[in-house]
A = this chain, B = another copy of it.
Amino acid sequence: MILAKIHVTLKASVLDPEGTTVTKSLHALGYDEVEDVRIGKYMEVKINTTDRKTAEERVTEMCERLLANTVIEKYSFELTEV
């Protein structure tokens, strides 16, 4: 079994209104040292295979087709055996 740990984040050029809201909330709570917050998704996908190379190709495909919106988001992942 292989576990893919996937990060999907907004591209640097894309505005992050959710992050802005969290920044404001943190300021309101007194955390004035917070400069910026960016919010993304973190996914753990368990894959029934032992072949790392195939898993890497398949996870890349999943990200391109479903898990990330590559117009505005970028993704990265690492694979670990579980």
Name A's B-contacting residues (CB within 8 A). 1, 7-9, 19, 22, 25-26, 29, 31, 33-49, 58, 61-62, 65-67
Q: Does A43 contact B38, Cβ atoms closer than 8 Å?
A: yes
- Please pick, from B8, B40, B48, B65, the residue contacting A35 in the complex, using a CB distance under 8 A: B48
Q: Quick one: closest B residue to A2, CB to CB?
A: B33
Name the B residues within 8 Å of A66 (CB-CB). Answer: 22, 25-26, 29
17 A–B contacts from the bound complex (CB under 8 Å)? A22-B66, A25-B66, A26-B45, A29-B62, A29-B66, A31-B58, A31-B61, A31-B62, A33-B49, A33-B58, A34-B45, A34-B46, A34-B48, A36-B44, A36-B46, A39-B41, A41-B42
